Amino acid sequence: MKKIKAILLLTLIAAATAASAQTTIVEGSNRTYRNQKIEAYACTDYISGANTLVGSTVADSLGKFKLALNITRTCRVTLKLGRANGILYADTAMTYTVLLPDYEPMSKSDKLNPYFTPDEFLVGIKNPDRYNLNMYVDLFDYTYQDCLERNYYRMLKNPDKQFTDSLIETMETSFDSIPNEFFSVYRQYKYAWLKFISYMRDWRYMSREYFDNQPIEYENPAYMDLFNQTFTNFLRMYMNTREGERIYSDVIMSKSPVKAKQTLSNCLAVTNDTLQEMVLLKSIHDALYDYYFRASSLLITLDSIKNTTKIDQHKCIAENIEQKNAIAKAGTAAPAFCLADTAGVYRSVDEFCEKYIYLNFISLDSYACTQSLEQLRLMNEKTKDVIQVVSISIDDDFDKVKKYFKRNHYNWMLLDYKADPTVLDRYKVKAYPSYYLIDTEGNLCMSPAASPSEDFEKRFLQYYRDQQKNRQ
């Protein structure tokens, strides 16, 4: 028995050691990052654009940090660094000592600007090895972009296979000896983009050459960029061809992925079953933003793919597309949150569902917000028996907001967003103030809702009466 226990213990130690060995570490030091939170995200799929958190840490008082990445394959990782995003191509079981520019926090105007996007840069690596992927991607991207800028209009206006192929051949001589599969695929599909804008402009050619019966590189941004470009708005395009005239009926009327893939089989450029399913996912994603197609039918077809696919990545993509199109829409469950109130007690959305919730996101730096707060006070006094007003502050100084509320006798629930900043993404908040109405079942019934100055009370009263009639 002791021998069995010893063997078991050694097995567990070996397994733990192996798991530890696979961990990817990002570390560094910059005093401007002291006590700052650093988060790392990887793209879950390049069709929906969904990202997932793969690592998080807080730099110490000297600005040193060590971030463990939860990744299982080579992928593009984004480090959230205030006003900038650092890009790192991370391999498994590697340690990267990174060199970061000085930290610059997002300003209040950045946070209030719905169109603000952080600057992106490829992070520097201290003492990289000879075949460091980031170093070569950086060098390749610089060479590639320079070539594209100098020759774009010539390739676009005067398609010339020999000229474009010679450009590619010249670039490739500098990189073809790098032994990294991810980088090889990355270059291949970057070059394919040059061919696409130059002489290989038919999607059928591109699909036969680069996608049909080729491995699907779900994690490679160059592959997925070309895939998304090749099959953009594919459903509308394919339904207008003789071979694909049934695709509309398959997806919208029959709501059948099986029939849709059978119709796709008519095309000699999309013969592979896995690619057909991938193209169908991309098609549904794009069609959800096209007024011509019924969203309800598209989502039923999408759900069928999710429940029947044998490919984990496709199930994930389908779920991400569903979530992207369900979040913060009227008739769907209100996105959850758990945020601290003025007493430091954490509150969740389901605590308030005895009443309708008039949820709003505010900032004292916004003149429109401060004006609306007084209107909210007047409205709250009249409707507090039926409506629970909940304000989520996005201000960094929550104590200042608490004092402002107390001084002005704003006596409704006030929450601090800092415990979960992603609440802004889940509600798709783009401007301040923003309003939402949540019913007593926890579902969004107005998203967005009107502001107090836009006759919200009148609209709510009509909605409330209609609901009461329906329950009788």
Q: pLDDT tens for the chain, 472 residues: list them.
A: 444 444 444 444 444 444 444 689 999 999 999 999 999 999 999 999 999 999 999 999 999 999 999 999 999 999 999 999 999 999 999 999 999 999 999 887 777 776 688 999 999 999 888 878 999 999 999 999 999 999 999 998 998 999 999 999 999 999 999 989 999 999 999 999 999 999 988 999 999 999 998 999 999 999 999 999 999 999 999 999 999 999 999 999 999 999 999 999 999 999 999 999 999 999 999 999 887 898 889 999 999 999 999 999 999 999 999 988 877 778 888 999 999 999 999 999 888 878 999 999 999 988 889 999 999 999 999 999 999 999 999 998 999 999 999 999 999 999 999 999 889 888 988 888 999 999 999 999 998 899 998 889 999 999 988 888 777 6
Between CA 383 and CA 387 the distance in angstroms is: 6
Structure tokens at 86: 């650092």
- Contact between 436 and 335 under an 8 Å Cβ cutoff? The reply is no
Between CA 413 and CA 363 the distance in angstroms is: 15
CB neighbour list of residue 343: distance below 8 Å, 6 or more residues apart: none
For residues 224, 227, 228, 229, the Cα torsion angle rounded to the nearest 10 degrees is 120
Q: Is residue 283 located within the same domain as residue 154?
A: yes
Domain of 90, CATH number, reads: 2.60.40
Q: Is residue 313 located within the same domain as residue 365?
A: no
pLDDT on residue 114: 65
Find, among 457, 452, 458, 455, the residue nearest to 369 by Cα.
452
Number of other CB atoms surrounding residue 361 within 10 Å: 24
Which contiguous run of DSSP H or E holds residue 434?
Answer: strand 434-438
pLDDT on residue 16: 44
Query: Half-sphere exposure of residue 338, counting CA atoms within 13 Å on the CB side?
Result: 1
| Any domain includes 11 | no
pLDDT on residue 472: 66
Find, among 43, 37, 29, 97, the residue nearest to 71 by Cα.
43
**Number of domains into which the chain is organized:** 3
Between CA 94 and CA 188 the distance in angstroms is: 25
| Any domain includes 15 | no
Q: Is residue 172 located within the same domain as residue 278?
A: yes
The dihedrals phi and psi of 213, each to the nearest 5 degrees, come to 60, 25
| SS3 (DSSP) at 255 | coil
| Any domain includes 164 | yes
- Contact between 326 and 50 under an 8 Å Cβ cutoff? The reply is no
| SS3 (DSSP) at 214 | coil
| Any domain includes 3 | no
| Any domain includes 367 | yes
| Any domain includes 29 | yes
Q: Is residue 121 located within the same domain as residue 161?
A: no
Q: Is residue 118 located within the same domain as residue 193?
A: no
Place of tokens 């990445």: 69
Domain of 440, CATH number, reads: 3.40.30.10
Q: Is residue 178 located within the same domain as residue 293?
A: yes
Tell me which of 67, 102, 127 is where a domain ends: 127
Between CA 252 and CA 467 the distance in angstroms is: 31
| SS3 (DSSP) at 443 | strand
Q: Is residue 186 located within the same domain as residue 294?
A: yes
- Contact between 81 and 96 under an 8 Å Cβ cutoff? The reply is no
Q: Is residue 410 located within the same domain as residue 445?
A: yes
Interior angle at CA 272, CA 269 and CA 273, nearest 5: 130
Interior angle at CA 418, CA 423 and CA 100, nearest 5: 100
The range of the structural domain enclosing residue 33 comes to 20-127
Tell me which of 326, 350, 371 is where a domain ends: 326
Between CA 76 and CA 334 the distance in angstroms is: 31
Which contiguous run of DSSP H or E holds residue 446?
Answer: strand 444-446
| Any domain includes 331 | no
Q: Is residue 123 located within the same domain as residue 172?
A: no
Q: Is residue 319 located within the same domain as residue 354?
A: no
pTM: 0.78
Long-range CB pairs of 173-177 (<8 Å, 24+ gap) are 174/139, 174/143, 175/136, 175/139, 175/140
CB neighbour list of residue 390: distance below 8 Å, 6 or more residues apart: 352, 357, 358, 359, 360, 412, 413, 415
Tell me which of 127, 149, 166 is where a domain ends: 127
Q: Is residue 315 located within the same domain as residue 355?
A: no
Q: Is residue 270 located within the same domain as residue 218?
A: yes
| SS3 (DSSP) at 326 | helix
pLDDT on residue 425: 84
Structure tokens at 129: 């090895």
| Any domain includes 454 | yes
Number of other CB atoms surrounding residue 404 within 10 Å: 17
